Amino acid sequence: MKNIFYFFILLINLNSFAQEVVECDFDANLSINILKNSEEGKNTTSKFVKGVFENEVIAFINFDFGKELVVKITENYPSKFFQTYKNDALKAANGKLISEEIVNINNIEILSIKLSFSLDDENKIAQHYIFVYKDIVYLLQFMNNENEFEKFLNFRKSIIDSIKFK
């Protein structure tokens, strides 16, 4: 009986989780699942969606600087570009690197870095996924309180796994 109860709790949580995201054709290059309550915006060089799931802040951004500038920014891609991004992110957050890895989605190399930092006297963890696809720089960022970060691993994985390149 106890196992059945836990099963229904899990099922309810999975259903509520599934209802929180929708597929979004982010731009001409890819689609990604986003939160239903996401805020969207754009300016001349970027587009973003940003949402909050419990305490988890999720932002997905593209930077369309034009082909010439992207080629210059991503010179020696991916090694130099990834190293520069990692150093800049750590410096901007005044943070510490927790982990770094290159992940591959559909033959696209993506830098994943996880860093810790302090924001408004709270310890936070952010995980960034950055890559270039069709001369556009994309950044997916997850941020949460340090003590709640591990709670959302499956949620983050489902968002990452939802990326579909066109």
Q: What is the pLDDT of residues 84-116, one digit of tens each?
A: 899 999 999 999 999 999 999 888 999 999 999
Whole-Å CA distances, 103 to 41, 73, 77, 144 = 27, 20, 14, 21
Tell me, what's the pLDDT at 109? 92
Tell me, what's the pLDDT at 129? 97
As beta bridge partners, residue 78 has: none
Does CATH place domain 23-165 in 3.40.1000.10? yes
**For residues 57 and 50, is the Cβ–Cβ distance under 8 A?**
yes
What is the SS3 assignment for 98? strand
pLDDT category of residue 8 using cuts at 50, 70 and 90: very low
The answer to whether residue 136 scores a pLDDT higher than 70 is yes
Measure the CA–CA gap between 166 and 143, rounded to whole angstroms. Answer: 27
